[in-house]
């Protein structure tokens, strides 16, 4: 039997998308400020992996290209 949730507590598993969006916000900040501060420093400060940041950039560029292709078609 599952324990009941009381006093406004939330199920942690249901909030996983919030964790993902939190990293996306961090990655977006890093991307916008990478000419001001070193990427490695910002990744350490935000407690995210540098490889995760570069994966985010690569996927973001890929999604942008897909959207542009769809709009042209």
**Tens of pLDDT, residue by residue, the chain (73 residues):** 655 556 666 555 555 454 457 899 999 999 999 999 999 999 999 999 999 999 999 988 777 777 677 777 6
Q: Please answer whether residues 30 and 43 qualify as being in contact, where contact means their C-beta atoms are separated by less than 8 angstroms.
A: yes
Q: Please answer whether residues 43 and 27 qualify as being in contact, where contact means their C-beta atoms are separated by less than 8 angstroms.
A: no
pLDDT of residue 18: 47
pLDDT of residue 38: 97
Token reading at 56? 């985010």
Burial zone of 23 (CB within 10 Å; 0-12 exposed, 13-18 middle, 19+ buried): middle
pTM of the model: 0.60
pLDDT of residue 65: 73
3-state DSSP call for residue 23?
helix
């Amino acid at each position: 039997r599952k324990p009941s949730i009381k006093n406004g507590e939330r199920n942690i598993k249901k909030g996983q998308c919030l964790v993902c969006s939190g990293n996306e916000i961090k990655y977006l900040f890093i991307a916008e400020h990478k000419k001001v501060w070193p990427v490695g420093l910002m990744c350490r400060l935000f407690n995210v992996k540098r490889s995760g940041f570069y994966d985010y950039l690569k996927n973001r560029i890929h999604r942008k290209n897909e959207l542009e292709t769809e709009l042209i078609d």
